[in-house]
Chain A
């Protein structure tokens, strides 16, 4: 591991420990961006993670990849701390992963981009197949993807998105686009789906959450709404009439 990589890694684990602490401490009333790094704070001890879909080596790749798509920074958590891996894991292990929301009759044929996804692989099969190819490739290179430098990881992801290779027969762009789409979904979806933990993405952009009445506010033009968001779980249950 190069010095540069080590520095990046230690920086990432430092930031991660800070955000993990914020999330577990329940910072609902303290805007995350006002919390200063506490240098003396010890990283929280990580329990072994269990997934419904991902194998451990798959989770290592996915975690590293989604954290490049939405990286941790000085102010806001990245995809992993926001729970995106949990989100994707649950989607892949459930109805979505098994193509339960898609027209799933053949013949499956190669189409044009305008015709959309046409591979005979369910989303779960697509992930399993593509990640296996990626992990196999890096095994032959000697260093797994998640141990590469951030720059090298970015370079590889960019190459996948540019469709410059195939992954066990899957055009790399098909997989990489789906992965990026799921990363953004998991980051922004309601926390009931396992991502967007503690509504961090909503706090980051300023989305007040799914339930609100703006009748009195909509024409107070330019008003800055400064309140913590509410999620489906934390919303009051509404009964009309």
Chain B
């Protein structure tokens, strides 16, 4: 029997980036807030200090910062005719855990989604006609517009101290920035990053080919910065240990560096770590949450009553929490009905390697998590898709986030995978290879979805999440198109050999691609096809808000975090200004 605790105004499930933002804003407005984090506390000092933090085996290979797969795994299958089996070791994607969540080990790549992205279905039909989009794709509008979110993007980027060059200031295209971006009301808070050598070679080739290269927006600091919360960050030193690692220099925007210290000083906020939330509890009508039940590190269960429950546990875990709690109708791929688990999408990436001769020293280890140079010409709806027969796109970016050698030892096609020739090749190419990433969109389908696994359980005897996913034909075409263009750029970069690898089915859990899982608890304007309204408020239980990339109806070709931060600020603003005055559905169903 769970011990019942004293009621609070708000319980936040998961204290990562979004949990910290929601908790900070609500505690600052005087509400009592409890943050429940399943993992442990950890701080820049002492946990993240070097040289120990720069341990490739521990963090990149053994996944030292990730969700404890021994206790909470997921199951996977490519389609419903297969039996899902547990992902026994993380590889394709890496959900974080512990205080700060995935916000500690991210790369800081900070892109806004575009005006088109938020009205994707409408935009595709308007531009290409009703029959252009593959009928299998369940794309939707978000129920919100870019213009409504702009101020919140701005707020989040200033919290992070993002460095970049505006490409579109209030509608005026700016030299040096991304001309395809949607308008921004002011410049980035910091200047762009230094470019890598591979980026400079890419820039020259892309410019010659008539494309529009720019420096990747980055939340690795480009100069010392004090954010609006009064927290100070240092300039990044390009050490090459960013993603999968924590930053020891206070140079990467993470919950620890940009918001948690302020949150923890607020007397209205209480952090409880090693608190594994098992479910959100509902009242007898299943229309209102009464709080949550969690287990502490010793297994004791507690019931934490609250008036408001905010779920911020990472996209996939958000969907699972809704399913475990029975909030919203589970999605059924046979009928297409139900909302929880619907429109699960991923990210469709490709790789291109540019092999130079030994006179060109690329120095892959001199790198930040977001020091790429890229073009947006083949992303989003930035080009005419009419002749190509697919929707969506990819940015093409010259980027090496690291030269860590277990992960990075490229060889040209035809090289054996071991033996003398392999050994010669890895030595020959290690410092003379540039890399391009195609980072592309992922469109939802009727058959890609999330539900609870019927067989496998976590350490608390609760069902694991079951992921059913295959790359849709649309995205396979898209990624091949983008990789082909990237290979052309590579040839122009003056290399001897260029090798492109477009992602092809079957999707495998065994190769890292990205951690950008989206959907499952999507936002929208129709309760039959979305789980949340435009304020990230559950259609089914009005005092439950779900903040995560789980809200994205489809995944554009940009990294998800900036849009997520904007949505969090948008949502919490609506809670403060509307919901608290009159608790109830903010949009009538």
Residues of A within 8 A of B (CB): 68-71, 73, 76, 96, 100-105, 107, 109, 111-118, 154, 157, 161, 180, 183-185, 188-190, 192-193, 201-202, 204-208, 210-215, 217-219, 221-225, 230-232, 235-241
Contacts and interface: CB of A to CB of B under 8 A. Distances in A.
B88 A76 contact: no
B197 A201 contact: no
A74 B44 CA distance: 44
A19 B343 CA distance: 57
B250 A240 contact: yes
B366 A232 contact: no
Interface of B: 44-45, 49-52, 54-57, 61-63, 69-70, 73, 76-78, 82-89, 91, 194-197, 200, 234-241, 248-250, 360-361, 363, 365-367, 371, 403-406, 409, 417-420, 422-424, 426-427, 430-431, 455-457, 506-510
B239 A214 contact: yes
Contact of A206 (B241, B249, B371, B431): B431
B55 A190 contact: yes
A102 B194 contact: no
B239 A184 contact: no
B85 A232 contact: no
Contacts of B418: 68-70, 157, 180, 183
Given A103-B73, A114-B507, A232-B54, 8 more contacts: A69-B418, A104-B70, A112-B82, A114-B78, A115-B77, A211-B50, A215-B194, A225-B361
B234 A240 contact: yes
A71 B426 CA distance: 13
19 contacts: A76-B427, A101-B62, A101-B89, A102-B89, A103-B69, A104-B70, A115-B87, A116-B89, A161-B417, A184-B409, A205-B409, A205-B427, A207-B403, A207-B430, A214-B365, A215-B238, A238-B51, A240-B248, A240-B250
Contacts of B420: 71, 73
A221 B87 CA distance: 41
A95 to B, nearest CB: 9
A86 to B, nearest CB: 14
A189 B580 CA distance: 53
What 5 pairs between A and B have smallest CB-CB spacing?
A: A210-B54, A235-B51, A103-B73, A205-B430, A214-B366
A1 B478 CA distance: 57
B510 A206 contact: no
Nearest to B430: A205
A7 B88 CA distance: 45
B256 to A, nearest CB: 12
A218 B238 contact: yes
B248 A201 contact: no
Contacts of A212: 239-240, 365
B88 A117 contact: yes
A43 B49 CA distance: 42
A102 to B, nearest CB: 5
A181 to B, nearest CB: 9
A232 B54 CA distance: 8
Contacts of B196: 218
Nearest to B245: A210
B49 A240 contact: yes
A235 B50 CA distance: 8
A202 B418 CA distance: 17
B417 A180 contact: yes
Which residue, A104, A114, A188, A204, has most C-beta atoms of chain B within 10 A? Answer: A114
B57 A185 contact: yes
B57 A205 contact: no
Contacts of B366: 214, 217-218
Given A111-B85, A211-B51, A116 B365 contact: no
B85 A115 contact: yes
B64 to A, nearest CB: 9
B54 A211 contact: yes
A201 B405 contact: yes
B423 A73 contact: yes
A128 to B, nearest CB: 19
Nearest to A154: B419
B255 to A, nearest CB: 17
B416 to A, nearest CB: 9
B507 to A, nearest CB: 6
Contacts of B423: 70-71, 73, 76
B51 A232 contact: yes
Given A101-B89, A116-B510, A188 B55 contact: no
A218 B194 contact: yes
A101 B63 CA distance: 9
A204 B77 CA distance: 41
Which residue, A68, A73, A205, A217, has most C-beta atoms of chain B within 10 A? Answer: A205
A102 B430 contact: no
B411 to A, nearest CB: 12
B88 A208 contact: no
A225 B197 CA distance: 14
Contacts of A109: 83, 85
A116 to B, nearest CB: 5
Which residue, A103, A208, A222, has most C-beta atoms of chain B within 10 A? Answer: A103
A73 B457 CA distance: 50
A232 B73 CA distance: 31
B225 to A, nearest CB: 14
Contacts of B62: 96, 101
Given A215-B238, A232-B52, A232-B55, A113 B508 contact: yes
A231 B420 CA distance: 26
A105 B51 contact: no
Contacts of A71: 419-420, 423
Contacts of A76: 423, 427
B87 to A, nearest CB: 6
Contacts of A183: 418
Contact of B456 (A105, A161, A206): A105
B29 to A, nearest CB: 31
B405 A107 contact: no
A188 B241 CA distance: 15
B88 A103 contact: yes
A103 B455 CA distance: 14
A208 B409 CA distance: 14
A101 B78 contact: no
B284 to A, nearest CB: 34
A217 B239 CA distance: 11
